């Protein structure tokens, strides 16, 4: 909902600024909206990529690691 309000505000402000510059400049707000949508999509993609990389790091850290048995471990193992 908030994104929709921002888009409408950008269109209105762009139309007002475009009208002040040139009568056909009403369409000045459209590029602003496209830039805003591009920023939102890019931010979401970067957040998603960051989460994926974090999960990969967690998985890598959680892998089982080989540990050499010590002398006491060898004595307590059932053969």
pLDDT of residue 79: 56
Structural domain spans, the chain: 33-61
The region of weakest confidence among 14-18, 31-35, 38-42, 75-79 is 75-79
pLDDT of residue 27: 67
pLDDT (tens digit per residue) in 1-32: 677 788 888 888 877 777 666 666 666 667 77
| C-alpha span between 24 and 29 (Å, rounded) | 11
pLDDT (tens digit per residue) in 51-69: 999 999 999 988 878 878 7
Backbone angles phi, psi at 65, to 5 degrees: -115, 140
Q: Do residues 18 and 33 lie in contact, with contact meaning Cβ atoms separated by under 8 Å?
A: no
pLDDT of residue 49: 95
């Amino acid at each position: 909902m908030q994104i929709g309000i921002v888009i409408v505000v950008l269109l209105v402000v762009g139309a007002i600024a475009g009208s002040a510059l040139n009568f056909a400049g009403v369409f000045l707000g459209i590029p602003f909206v496209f830039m805003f949508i591009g920023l939102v999509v890019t931010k979401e993609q970067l957040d998603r990529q960051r989460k994926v990389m974090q999960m990969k790091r967690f998985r890598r850290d959680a892998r089982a690691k080989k540990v050499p048995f010590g002398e006491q471990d060898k004595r307590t193992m059932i053969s």
